[in-house]
Amino acid sequence: MSAVVFLEHHGNEVQRGSLGVLAKAASLGEGDVAAVVAGEGARALATEAGKFGAARVWVCEDGEVARPLPQPRIDVLAQVVEEGGYDTVLFANSVLAADVAAGLAARLDAGLNWDLVDVALRDGALVGTRPALQDSVYADVGWTSTPRLALFRAGSFDATPTGGGGEPEIVDVSPSYREHSTAVKLVGQDAEESSGPSIEDADVIVAGGRGLGSPDNFTLAEELARALGGAVGATRAVVDAGWYPYSAQIGQTGKTVSPKLYVALGVSGAIQHKVGMQSSGTIVAINKDANAPIFEFSDLGVVGDLHEIVPKLTELVRARKG
Ligand SMILES: Cc1cc2nc3c(=O)[nH]c(=O)nc-3n(C[C@H](O)[C@H](O)[C@H](O)COP(=O)(O)OP(=O)(O)OC[C@H]3O[C@@H](n4cnc5c(N)ncnc54)[C@H](O)[C@@H]3O)c2cc1C
């Protein structure tokens, strides 16, 4: 296998999801793994990529990739795949990475397996694991041709430095773009102010549902999330009601997450919510209805009024953490 991993970065930070995919690829131990970083400040991130297992980092700081648009990145990646002779290209899911992966598959006439949660080499063949039937079963998936493209679900792998390597070899990419690749112009970009990790990156998510009772009560979820060092998620019901931003929505029409700990506050556990979070490590639910569906797939269920329980829980966590 000769693999290259698309590393997505914003500002001077590489997305943890893509570092996790890189570390996973390196752990397969089948040949050197490379990484591609495209955008402003890409070169400065090469050392970071080395710590997570990249032996070679392809760097592109061209003006066309300064903005987070997929099409110029597809050209960069297509060129890297050709010049480096890679047979495998791996992505961690995000809005941008999904667009790049799909576009690259079309460009290279390659097979893309998406929403994977694991990958392994079996008898020399690369095999992906893909949840199916609303995550009730896991299917083994493969590729019938190269290059093989794979897009992994957020949180599939720990972003743990591999401890190997020294400085990776840096290769500059001088991209040549297709005419249509530079036709899209970004007319505006807004960054949402937030502190703490994003729900895609967080090890802990505290999700709020309609049981919180009002938008103001989201402070209960926020304070518990802050105490646990996590991020706040939301159900579609509260997002539709305008209680919390769409970017926090988890589920079928929102984001799919798999943190180590998922705490659900006043969330009923509708199937459309479940499919977005059921692969979380430990699921804790607080709900006043003992028959709420969420208890069917929770590791720990607390039946009670969240307004009484959550402030005490937050205090306890703070006290424990000193
Ligand atoms: C096509 C489609 C796509 C959808 N996509 C999504 C999606 O992506 N994500 C998503 O989340 N939903 C999605 N939904 C909506 C989904 O079906 C549910 O309506 C939604 O998840 C319910 O949100 P909720 O749990 O916040 O609210 P509810 O179902 O109203 O549940 C509120 C819960 O809070 C509990 N509660 C109330 N008061 C308290 C209290 N004081 N203390 C403790 N517990 C309390 C109640 O017992 C109840 O279980 C989708 C629906 C459709 C049809």
The DSSP letter of residue 136 is T
User: What pTM does this model have?
Assistant: 0.78
Cα distances (Å, whole numbers) of residue 219 to 208, 222, 287, 294: 10, 5, 17, 22
Find, among 209, 204, 237, the residue nearest to 314 by Cα.
204
E strands within the chain?
3-7, 9-10, 13-14, 33-38, 54-60, 88-92, 111-116, 118-122, 125-132, 137-141, 148-152, 169-172, 204-208, 231-234, 261-265, 282-287, 300-303
The CA-based dihedral angle spanning residues 169, 156, 199, 266, taken in that order and rounded to the nearest 10 degrees: -170
Q: How far apart are the C-alpha atoms of 104 and 149, rounded to whole Å?
A: 9
Q: Is 292 in the pocket of ligand 1 (CB under 6 A)?
A: yes
Q: What number does the ligand 1 atom closest to the CA of 234 have?
A: 11
Ligand 1: which of 134, 249, 267 to mutate, most ligand atoms within 8 Å of CB?
Answer: 267
Nearest CA to ligand 1 atom 29: 268
Average pLDDT taken over every residue of the chain: 94
Mean pLDDT of 119-135: 91
Residue 178 has pLDDT above 70, yes or no: yes
Q: Is 287 in the pocket of ligand 1 (CB under 6 A)?
A: yes
Which stretch of 38-42, 99-103, 194-198 has the lowest confidence by average pLDDT?
A: 194-198
Nearest CA to ligand 1 atom 18: 270
Please tell me the chain's helix, strand, coil percentages from 3-state DSSP, rounded to the nearest 5.
35, 25, 40
Residue 165 has pLDDT above 70, yes or no: no
Q: How far apart are the C-alpha atoms of 92 and 101, rounded to whole Å?
A: 10
pLDDT band of 71, cuts 50, 70, 90: very high
Find, among 227, 281, 233, 228, the residue nearest to 259 by Cα.
281
* Opening angle at CA 91, ends 85 and 94, nearest 5: 150
* Opening angle at CA 256, ends 45 and 90, nearest 5: 40
pLDDT band of 135, cuts 50, 70, 90: confident
Tell me the H-state helices in 85-233.
Answer: 95-108, 218-228
Structure tokens, 74: 């597809």
Give the rounded percent of residues in the chain with a pLDDT score beyond 70.
99
Q: What is the pLDDT of residues 189-202, one digit of tens each?
A: 887 777 778 888 89
Residue 225 has pLDDT above 80, yes or no: yes
Q: What is the pLDDT of residues 226-279, one digit of tens each?
A: 999 999 999 999 999 999 999 899 998 898 888 999 999 999 999 999 999 998
Q: Is 233 in the pocket of ligand 1 (CB under 6 A)?
A: no
Predicted pLDDT of residue 248: 94
Q: What is the pLDDT of residues 3-25, one digit of tens each?
A: 999 999 988 899 989 999 999 99
Q: Is 72 in the pocket of ligand 1 (CB under 6 A)?
A: no
Q: How far apart are the C-alpha atoms of 147 and 168, rounded to whole Å?
A: 23
Nearest CA to ligand 1 atom 27: 210
Residues 6+ apart with CB under 8 A from 193: none
Mean pLDDT of 43-60: 95
Ligand 1: which of 244, 256, 268 to mutate, most ligand atoms within 8 Å of CB?
Answer: 268
Q: How far apart are the C-alpha atoms of 267 and 209, rounded to whole Å?
A: 4
